[in-house]
Structure 1
Amino acid sequence: MSFPRSVRKGFTLIELLVVIAIIAVLIALLLPAVQQAREAARRTQCRNNLKQLGLAFHNYHDTFRCFPIGALYGIGPFGPVFPGIGTSYYARLLPYLDQAPLYNRLTFSGGYPGWPAAALWDPGAAINKPAVNGVVLPPLVCPSSPLPSSILDGVGGAVQTVPCYVGISGAVDEDKTSAATPAVDTDQFVESRQRSGADCCSPNAMNGMHAAGGLLTANESHTIGSATDGSSSTLLLGEISDAMVDLTGARRDVRGGVPHGWLGGTSGAGVVANWSGPIARKFNLTTIRYAPGTRTFNLPGVYDNYGPNNPLISAHTGGVHALFADGHVAFLSNNLFLPNLKALATRDDGVTTGSD
């Protein structure tokens, strides 16, 4: 007498657990590779952004025989009491970033063309708000940045793109603390075109240093020929696309356009020279004082409503991207020797160095 065999359908519980475990291991192995591939793509896009900006700078130079002014002063209606805020170099680059219609809608005259906020003391402060409000400028944003790509000016202004790239105005000579020539050189860098101070908005910022040895400086323009150290050894833009951390552990956004956006220039007239010139905020610019990747917020010259010495910092592993005057883009290591970085930030110090 024979009995029918029982036919097993499906998996036992143990077999199912084994399959799930295998799938989990495969996901664990694949996920880092997928994340790395995505970050590589974002990093490539960041480089391409800077290359596009470099092309815009050179097209501007071909047209006007100079680079744009780093930060322009706006003549406010109440003089030194409420000085105006002019426009940044980004505004002048718009026609070369496929943004000619936006450029044509901008007004560059008046007290506050670079601050599209409805300031109570000057109705004209909002003159460019309708033009820039909500406009997205993708080449200005690093896709790896964890920070918001736009910001609302807190004084009733516009929603503006916040650039992840900042103009390089020069670098700080830590030995120079007055108009006198320093007796010693302790930081392996010499610069006379600098001064200390700030007109706003914290003790940190007011302990900052402004220099004008770079190619993007306030209220003056420079030619590529003025980079006598070589255009391939002189910085135009550096990356600030991640936050710093203060003593409480809070993350602080120190991008050059914070808190007013890409359009803002400066509220100070004149140029920085030998311990003279404006100490006003110079939005979308920085003066190199610290190594790339510096995360400590509570440092002299660092602040999140313009710090003259906000460092280059990014979400990329190991360093930041930077644009040079000849149009090439390099990755600057967080371990870059600080005097070398200061030399790269200076157009004519007589030091020719690479980005390594």
Structure 2
Amino acid sequence: MRSLAPTASTGTTLRQAGMIALLGAVLGLAVALFLLPTGLVFAITEIMIWVLFATSLNFLISYGGMISFGHAAYFGLGAYGLALSVVRFGLPLWIAIAAGPLIAALAAAIFGALCVRLTRIYFSMLTLACAEITFAVIFQWYDFTGGDTGIASFTSTRLGFDAPQYGLIVLAVVTLCLTLLWLVVKSPFGIALRAVGEDPRRAAASGFDPRMTLWAAFVISGFFAGIAGTLFALFHGNVFPDYAGLGFSLDVLVMVVIGGLHSFAGGIYGAIIYKLLDTIVSHYFTHWQLVIGLTLAAVIIFSPKGAAGFASRLSPGIRGGKTR
């Protein structure tokens, strides 16, 4: 009797089918940006930026086992890095765009060197403290950052592109960043990171340096969060202290939980679901946060692995890039 167990060739075929489906989705979305109304194009563009932001945090949590309560610090620094480079230093916009993520990565390198010395709740609370320091500096340094009024209309041209064209640029950047993060996950470094995230002592006994591995992951995560912040600032043409505030940190953390931990696709699912609920429900209900809270509670109770886990159960062949 022929075995019904999945074979290696079956797994390869499923992965190839998944890659073709993803490529088709990206191409379809690229075409849709030029066919949909401008309002929908704006909404889709913003969701794509949040997808990158959520995936950067999901990388940190799902693979490194580090739960950050202050990830918006790097999102906000990416946004302010762009705005301040243009307004205060007069740099060309193209150079300023590169400055945002680099500033976020530098801050992540400094904060990460402190945070990775601690574990579990102490790590999480220190990330929150670092984020609050960042927010306080941005909020109170009126002469440089604009304080609580932020920096408005620092660029209204979006590099001269209209909404569909800018949406296409965001799609290309986000796709490239997600691909790079996926390659990091599948690289030898990703294997080391998973080992450290699961059991630092055992990983150290195997020859890995847990602290340096976690620090590198922290910097990588901060860098991609900075890219998301830079895209967000360029998209809106203004920056505000809230971009680095606790609200944004909690929003992106909820996205990751809703999407599903220990799955690369968790950040993608979570950002899409959260922003759709935010956009649609808030249009009809004043207390839309209640719906978000009930959704989060339902996910935790009925599907602890989040939307990615639910999708995996519906399609057993699609595992969503599980970490384990």
TM above 0.5: no
More strand by share: 1
TM-score of the two chains, using structure 2 as the length reference: 0.24
More helix by share: 2
Q: Greater Rg, structure 1 or structure 2?
A: 1
User: More relative contact order in 1 or in 2 (CA 8 Å, sep 6+)?
Assistant: 2
TM-score of the two chains, using structure 1 as the length reference: 0.22
